[in-house]
Structure formats: C-alpha cells, structure tokens
Structure 1
C-alpha cells in the first residue's frame, strides 16, 4: 500500500472565473508543505489535474514557482515536485512605535533580507514621517543591492503600529499614539514610495509573522498575544487574520481589569498591569532606552521584589484573559509573543501556569493551550512585511466573491 502524505491546504474551486483564488490556494499549499507534485496538489486542493497543470504553468511563467528534480518512488510513475521561488516576490515592512521605527525587506517565503532602524523623534509625525520615508528608501536600496531585479517584484509596503484605530480622543494617553493616528499616514507613504500600502495594528502584525514563519505556521485557529509597549492580540480564524469592523479586533489591552482590593488600580485597562510600559514603570526603566532589552534580561535573572510583584500581577491578569479568549474564540492554541528576552517571556508563562479550567481542556489536544512565540523586537516588522505577501498571494474569500482586494499584483 502506498503511503499517502498528509498535506495542509484549502479547497480550490473548479468554477469558471475563480483562477485568482486557485492560484492563491496552490501557493498557500506550497508555502505550508514545501515541495509538492501536481498529483499531491490536486488531491489536497480538490482541483482537477488539468486545473493544477494550467495554474502551475502560469506560476512557472510568472517566476513564482519552479520544478525540482524528478522523484521516483517504487513502481509508480515518477513525479515532479514544485516549490515557491523565494525571489518571485519581495515586500517591505515598517514598524512605527513610540520611540523607534524599524524597516525590513522579505522575500516570497518570508526570509528577512534587510533590517534597518532609526530613533523616532518625540514630536510625532511632523518630523517622524520623514524618518520613516528615509528608512523605507534605505531598505529598498539595500534590497536592490542584494537582488538587482527586486524593484520589479516588490508587491507592496506593510505598516504596523499600535492601535486602536479611529478613536476620537483629546487625551494624550501614553499607551496610544494619538498624533500618528490622526495623521494621513497611508496616503503619505503611498505618495512617497509609489507602493501599495497596508496597515495593521502591531498585535495583528505579530500574528501575521507567527502564521508565516512562526508557531502558528500550520495552525488555522490561534490567538497571538503581543506583550509590547502595550498589550494586544492577533486573531487567526480559519487560517486568516481577523481584524474586525475597524481594524481593532484583539485590542485586549483596552479591556478593564477585574476588581481588586486596591481602589487606585481597580478598573484600569489591562495593559496598565501587563505590558512592557507597565514593567518599565515598575522597574524605573526608560522605554526609549536602546539597551532596554538587556536591562529586562538582567532584571529577570536578578528577580528583585519589584520584578516579582509586577510578574505576579501581570500573570494573574493574563491567566484570566487566556481563559476568556479560549471561551470566546475556541482556538487551537494561544501564543504569547513579545519584544522582550526569551528568559523573561518563559518566566512569565511559568507564572501564568497553571491555566484556569476552560472548554479548551480536552484529551484530544495535540497543542499546548499556551505556548511561547517569537521573542524578538523585530517580530512586528516581520509581520508588517508579511502582510503585502499575504495580500498578494494568500487565499481569500474575496477572490471567489470578486470583492475589493481580490486582484493580485503582477509578478
């Protein structure tokens, strides 16, 4: 009996006029599984062999897919595996945070090729947008020096910054970037770069990164909690990122904390207790210090009373919220990510455990209810760069329904 390889893929459609969706389905299957033959693709996507052959030929012609050496297995017919071509597409990602801006360039399979960063002026976009544009130009130049033809295959620019988006408030909340929120950022960057620009909040960008190259790579339902300057969650539902009506889905940092004995702390937003900003406040650290990562690592090793007190309160709040997220979204797993050292993140998970009872407790589980994701200050920028790749090539219902966003940029 021949062994049948389990392949992760979404179903394609053989209906006329759905070629855009089918192209995306095939590319997504190759991204998830690596090399696949035409027969394997047909079996996994439920597309006809002729449809697979036609699309593979198109993708080869566009420089997005290439064939590998013929594989011979037993007495069966030899097969030709196909893989994505890393140089088939490139994207730029930008993270705009309170004190820093980071830009990276990635290829079609998510390999980071360029990393550049700069300090962000404290007076908001008035001067800061020039810094952002200069950094994007530098990233493009560095990418061009590595791949001279990259300018022809640059599919877009992804931007990630803290949310929530679209709120009308005159209060200068240190957890929010009000001036940047009110600034016509997308229009300014599109005009300054000539690229299609997409925007995500930083937690959604981290979830995008985890889905492309991290712990959520082969998971259809996951919640990615980002412990950054603030706190947020990226929601991966049915293999796609869910952003909500206004791009603010997953803004758990805005959720009010449970009542406690301290009247001064009861009812504050969650990120006032569980975020790097709140940690800096507890440890008297400067959030804009370029050595902040090292300071947090040292404080974790020393584990003075101030660190122990912060972690105990943060863990209590996060344990409660993991249970709430499990109850509302029924994910396969919850992934804790952050721009903090791994030793700190692991110790925080240890403090959160054991989790509260929830519907996620079942004998058939194959993934932990809570696991560690990326511990990398660049993870938000990686997700920002992954967004244009996903926008161009990932399967979307809009490709079938011919909704806005269904088109694919030319390779």
Structure 2
C-alpha cells in the first residue's frame, strides 16, 4: 500500500501553455477586439507565443480576424474577436418551486430560455422535468446552429445551499418559509452523476450565489474585477466570492452563506429557541413574502412583486426600509472578511425593489473597505432578474474552459 504524501501539484510546459491560452482568450473577452501586438503588450507574453495561440484559437473556430486597421507606418494591424458560435453551454437553476434553464453562446448571449414548475417530492418527481428542460434547450440550440451539439462545453447546475450540513435536532427550523432543508432531497440525490449519465455532458454544481458571481464577472457589473463579492438576494441571502479572479467555494461548496449569520439590528427579537434570527430572516424573497402575506410558491410571484412595486405598495416599501439595516450589516461583515474591490448587489427580486432597498442602506458602517483611495463605490447594483442564476450557471462551463485559473497551470488542471 502506497504511503499518502501531501504536496502541491507542480506544472509543466502543457500547464503553462494552457494558462497562456486562457489569458489570451480572456483579454479578447474583456476588450472586444485586439491585434496580436496589443495582446502581447497587455498579457506580457512574447509575440511568438501570442501568434501561436491566436493561430490555434482561430483554427478551432473560437476567434476570428476582422478587417485590418491601418494606423501609422507599416502593415495594417488585424484585430481578432471571439466567435459567438465557437462554443455553447447550458445552465440550469434548481430552486424550491421551479427549474430555470438557459442555453448560451461563447459571448454569453442567451439563445434559449426555459422554465418549468417543480412539484413537491424532490428529485423523485422533479428529475425527469429537469431532463426534459435540458433536452428542450438542446433542441433550441440546434435550431440556431446545427453544429451546436458538437460544440457544447458542458452543463452548469446551481441550487441553494448549504450542502451537506447536519440538521441540529435541538434547534429545528421553526418556519417552513425559511426552512433551509427544503432542498435537502436534491442535495442528497446523486444529481451530477445522473445528469452526466443521461445527457452525456460534463456537469458541475455550485450554489446560486456563486453562479450569480460568475455571471457578473464575465459579462456584468464586475467585468474586469478580480476581487469582489456578489451579494445574492434570492429565496435566501448568499454571497458569491471571487478571490484573485476565481470563484471560491470553500471545502464543501458552502462558502458565502452570509444569510445564516445572526442579525443584530436594533429591536430584532429572538426566535422561539431564544436564538437571534438570521440575516435572511429579514432580507430575502421569503422575508418579503412573509411580510406581504404572499405564497412563496406562487407561480407568478416575481411578476406579482413587480406589479406591487410599480403601484408603490405601502407594505412592500415598508419592508424595503426594514431590510436595509440588515443589508448594511452584511456589507460590513463581508468587507471585514474579504476586503473586496466592491460588493455587487443582485438577485431575483425585481430591479426596482433591489434599488429601493439599496437606497435605504447608506450610511454604510465603518470597515476596512472605507478607504480614501477607492476607485469604486463600496456597494454597486448588479443584475436583478429572475434568470440571473441560470445565466451564471450557463457561464460556468465557459469560465471553467476559458478563464485564467490557478488550477489550469497545474498538471491536474
């Protein structure tokens, strides 16, 4: 029996080449079009290395040249751009009452959007619905591009966490509206294995806040940022952590469960067990439903909330004001722990509601992020949309394949 040895994986020429390829692709994604000389200057790679990578990406149909641009003296420069049809990905979000799916191209453009209600009963009844939704998206992509089946990078899956946490019998959930265990059956189901077996696609899983963070990093408010936190306001409250350009998931995929921290706003009563209520008890879609007397499983909940906000419903506006101090606490906590360039607030509430909450947050509490040298606000508004998480899940296979990542340098990457 071999002795188990602890070590960090080394790299070789292939690992370095894979990283350089990702760096070139990422430069094109962030800037739109660049010539070979511009790529070399921006990435600090040698002109020969850049030429080899550009030639390979062009041959694979992932990038293409535009018309040459004449500048000063010498040969005109040829700019290159990403080819949208060079690759595709599918993302699905499995939530408490529904599954949402998106098919996207290499530039992040949505080509297919599907939504289905999920019945009670977890994966025993819902898995077939998920498979049917994925099959429908694949048909949509094939209609758009008959070559898409051969260019599918994979399947991204997102769902609420926490994953694998033991339920404390001494402190059971008190309110089914905020019960974090309603996804327990899905968490314990061999979802990725079954999806890969049934679809033939490589599948990856992350929590919903992590998926939203990827969407904001690749094509949203955090494009070009390497250190930021995405604060996701959904049925719960979570944080997607981008640290040094990469998503940080933690040991079991549960990093960023900010909504489970105790809330300490003045006047917050304890729960029936005498414990402080959590942040997501006050700021989440479920909290809004409780305040407004709405059914969180309502099929048109998001449309309903949008119409209430458009009518400036007093109870909804009151909830926005009440939720703001808890968001203020979450921002200060995340800043103290991660010192991000900014915190991006997004989620599945209608944009107007999200902005109303944010408008009541200032003044932000003192923290390490309160610096005179800041170039970005401490809190910025990101995407507020029902499809945010599914979009981020679709971006995950693209990010996994093309984003610069430390593990791509390693032999195991």
What TM-score do the two structures reach when normalised by structure 1?
0.91
Is structure 2 residue 336 aligned with structure 1 residue 327? yes
**Which runs of no fewer than 5 residues in structure 1 stay unpaired?**
1-13, 407-411
Once the two structures are overlaid, the 10-residue window that deviates more, 106-115 or 303-312, is 303-312
Task: Name the SS for the 2:231 alignment partner.
Answer: strand
- Cα distance in 2 between the residues matched to 1:236 and 1:230: 20
- Cα distance in 1 between the residues matched to 2:255 and 2:127: 26
Asked if 2 retains the 8 angstrom alpha-carbon contact of 1:175 and 1:229, the reply is no
Task: Name the SS for the 1:352 alignment partner.
Answer: coil
Q: How does 1:7-406 map to 2 (within 5 A)?
A: 16-17=13-14, 18-169=16-167, 174-176=179-181, 177-258=183-264, 260-265=266-271, 267-304=276-313, 306-403=315-412, 406=413
- Cα distance in 2 between the residues matched to 1:126 and 1:16: 47
Task: Name the SS for the 2:374 alignment partner.
Answer: coil
Task: Name the SS for the 1:217 alignment partner.
Answer: coil
- Cα distance in 1 between the residues matched to 2:180 and 2:321: 21
Question: Deviation per CA, 1:285-334, whole angstroms, max 9, x where unpaired?
Answer: 11122221232223334555533443233211110110111121111111
- Cα distance in 2 between the residues matched to 1:226 and 1:23: 31
Asked if 2 retains the 8 angstrom alpha-carbon contact of 1:68 and 1:82, the reply is yes
Asked if 1 retains the 8 angstrom alpha-carbon contact of 2:157 and 2:205, the reply is yes
State the Cα distance separating 1:144 from its structure 2 match.
0.5
Asked if 2 retains the 8 angstrom alpha-carbon contact of 1:326 and 1:358, the reply is yes
Aligned length: 391
Question: Deviation per CA, 1:206-248, whole angstroms, max 9, x where unpaired?
Answer: 0111111110112111111110011101011111111111111
State the Cα distance separating 1:264 from its structure 2 match.
3.3
Asked if 2 retains the 8 angstrom alpha-carbon contact of 1:108 and 1:389, the reply is yes
- Cα distance in 2 between the residues matched to 1:28 and 1:262: 46
Once the two structures are overlaid, the 10-residue window that deviates more, 161-170 or 62-71, is 161-170
- Cα distance in 2 between the residues matched to 1:307 and 1:92: 35
What TM-score do the two structures reach when normalised by structure 2?
0.91
